[in-house]
Amino acid sequence: MSKKVVISGTGLWIPENTLTNEELVDCYNQHVDVFNEEHKQDISDNTVVAKAYSSAAFIEKASGIKSRYIYQKKGVLDIDRMRPDIPVRRNDELSDQAEMAVHAAKQAMEKAGKSAEDIDAVIVSCAYTQRSYPAIAIEVQEALGIVGFGFDMLVACSAATFALQRSYEMVKAGTAKCVLAINPELTSPQVNYKDRDSHFIFGDVSVATIVESEETCSASDSFEILSTKTFTQYSNNIRSNFGYVLNANDTDPLDKTQYFSQNGRTVYKEVCPMAAKHLSDHLGSLDLKNEDIKRWWLHQANINMNKLICSILLDRQPSEEEAPIVLDQFANTASAGSLIAFNMYHEDLEQGDLGVICSFGAGYSIGSLVVKKR
Ligand code: CO8
């Protein structure tokens, strides 16, 4: 009989600093006043476009986001900087992202009842890693005392679901017995806080998941992974150009063209139907109907996207219990959103209940896992 693979523990580490819409908008609008004053002549000559104010009411209505957590708040609300001020760490200190990862990993290990000796693979998967090598995953492996192997993965919004697919497949194939998959999403250094369209979108967080065989699982709270499905289709509508070749391009790494940018409206229109079809196809391939799903832990980018996807899937609006929303508190945390929702809203499910974890976004990329409460 084929080996069953389970999620046996999850961890969620939340930075202590919050950043509300009002705080962000207040700083941004001060920046607008300074910019427009400085470019007064060019604006009246029509060679520079005046910047318009942002609004907390717009942000909440357009996205559902009210606040977000941020790894380092210092610097972001300083209108002479408007970037987080994260001190450089020495090479012999734990890096920022490894530290975020370790916090979440320890919680997941505790929930799963695992110690370092039980784990033989570490995946760190996120939208960005703070350096190319050595892999953050190997640094985390060392920090936790895990013997085996680790590697980093970058799949933007779908980094978490794609890493869980890798974990599932490794346990299934026997190339690892117990995988620690971690998503330390340090998004704030790539946010252009001077851009009205995107300054409000992202937050920082770290989540971790333990994936192992049913045979080794001793956790009372666990889910069998019934199936995984991933999909990508190239799109320039969500883009981050920052990368190591900038040094050879003679390009300013702080230039606004290097940061996260998107055609948000187009993304919304293209990704929602793709995600709904992906999920229906995934469930259909398992002879399941959308109505069989008790909980939808969806990607957390925009509340209106989640409502639209659910209304396509269910032909009605889901209740808050069916499709929990965490983006109001966390904003878009790149790949981590669906797993934050899973972390916070799964304990009430009963044995045999089915759920779906799903991400969608940059790439485009879509990832889903169908899970069953054990
Ligand atoms: N305040 C006031 N007005 C604003 C603001 C603002 N802050 N921003 C825009 N407006 C204005 C616009 O200028 C526009 O004015 P006009 O009609 O005069 O042109 C009007 O409001 C409407 O603008 P939009 O059409 O852009 O507004 P939307 O209703 O589409 O909402 C959203 C914008 C919220 C961005 C929405 O389009 C959206 O959420 N789209 C999908 C986003 C998405 O899922 N993106 C994927 C993100 S990528 C990801 O999740 C992971 C990537 C990796 C992480 C990166 C980390 C940095």
Is residue 323 in contact with ligand 1, taking CB distance under 6 Å? no
pLDDT band at 325 (very low <50, low <70, confident <90, very high): very high
Where does 223-373 sit in CATH, by number? 3.40.47.10
Range from 116-120, 245-249, 292-296 carrying the lowest mean pLDDT: 245-249
pLDDT score at 269: 96
| Of 252 and 170, more confident | 170
261 lines ligand 1 (CB under 6 A): no
Q: Is 217 a known active-site residue? A: no
The confidence score (pLDDT) of residue 257 equals: 85
Q: What is the pLDDT, as a whole number, of residue 255?
A: 83
Least Cα distance to 312 among 346, 281, 344 occurs for: 281
- 201-208 average pLDDT score: 98
Q: Whose CA is nearest to atom 21 of ligand 1?
A: 58
pLDDT digit string, tens, across residues 131-172: 999 999 999 999 999 999 999 999 999 999 999 999 999 999
Q: What is the pLDDT of residue 13?
A: 98
| CA 233 to ligand 1 centroid distance, Å | 21
Q: What is the CA radius of gyration of the chain?
A: 21
Task: Give me the pLDDT at residue 185, please.
Answer: 98
With a 6 Å cutoff on the Cβ, whether 302 touches ligand 1 is yes
Cβ(180)–Cβ(122) below 8 Å: yes
C-alpha to C-alpha distance for 325 and 49, rounded to whole angstroms: 36
- Active-site residue among 157, 217, 310, 358? 157
pLDDT at residue number 186: 98
Pocket mutation for ligand 1, best pick of 65, 185, 262 (most atoms within 8 Å of C-beta): 262
Spatial separation of the C-alpha atoms in residues 159 and 156, rounded to whole Å: 5
Whether 59 lines ligand 1, by a CB cut-off of 6 Å, is yes
Which residue's alpha carbon is nearest to atom 25 within ligand 1? 265
How far is ligand 1, taken at its centre, from the CA of residue 165, in Å? 30
- 12 — pLDDT class (breaks 50, 70, 90): very high
Pocket of ligand 1 contains residue 21 by CB under 6 Å: no
Arithmetic mean of pLDDT over the chain: 97
**CA-closest candidate to residue 312, choices 323, 327, 320:** 323
Amino acid at 53: Y
Q: Answer yes or no: is the C-beta of 362 below 6 A from any ligand 1 atom.
A: yes
Per-residue confidence (pLDDT) for residue 342, from 0 to 100: 98
Nearest C-alpha neighbor of 360 from the set 257, 269, 261: 269
Using CB atoms within 10 Å of the CB of residue 55, give its burial: 0 to 12 exposed, 13 to 18 middle, 19+ buried. Answer: middle
pLDDT digit string (tens) for 81-139?
999 999 999 999 999 999 999 999 999 999 999 999 999 999 999 999 999 999 999 99
**What is the structure's pLDDT at 59?**
98
Q: What is the pTM of this model?
A: 0.96
Residue 1 scores a pLDDT above 70: no
Reported confidence tier of residue 254, pLDDT bands at 50, 70, 90: confident
Q: Is 189 left (phi over 0), alpha (psi -120 to 50) or beta?
A: alpha
- If we measure between CA atoms, which residue out of 166, 156, 190, 206 comes closest to residue 339? 206
pLDDT at 2: 81
Q: pLDDT-derived band of residue 19, with 50, 70 and 90 as boundaries?
A: very high
pLDDT number for residue 250: 87
With cut-offs at 50, 70 and 90, classify the pLDDT of residue 296: very high
For residue 334, pLDDT over 60 is answered with yes
What are 34-80's pLDDT values in tens digits? 999 999 999 999 999 999 999 999 999 999 999 999 999 999 999 99
Q: Where are the domains of the chain?
A: 223-373
- Residue minimizing CA distance to atom 13 of ligand 1: 197
Residue 363 has pLDDT above 60, yes or no: yes
Cβ contact 96:136 at 8 Å: no
Percent of the chain with pLDDT over 90: 95
Q: pLDDT for 256-290, tens place per residue?
A: 888 999 999 999 999 999 999 999 999 999 999 99
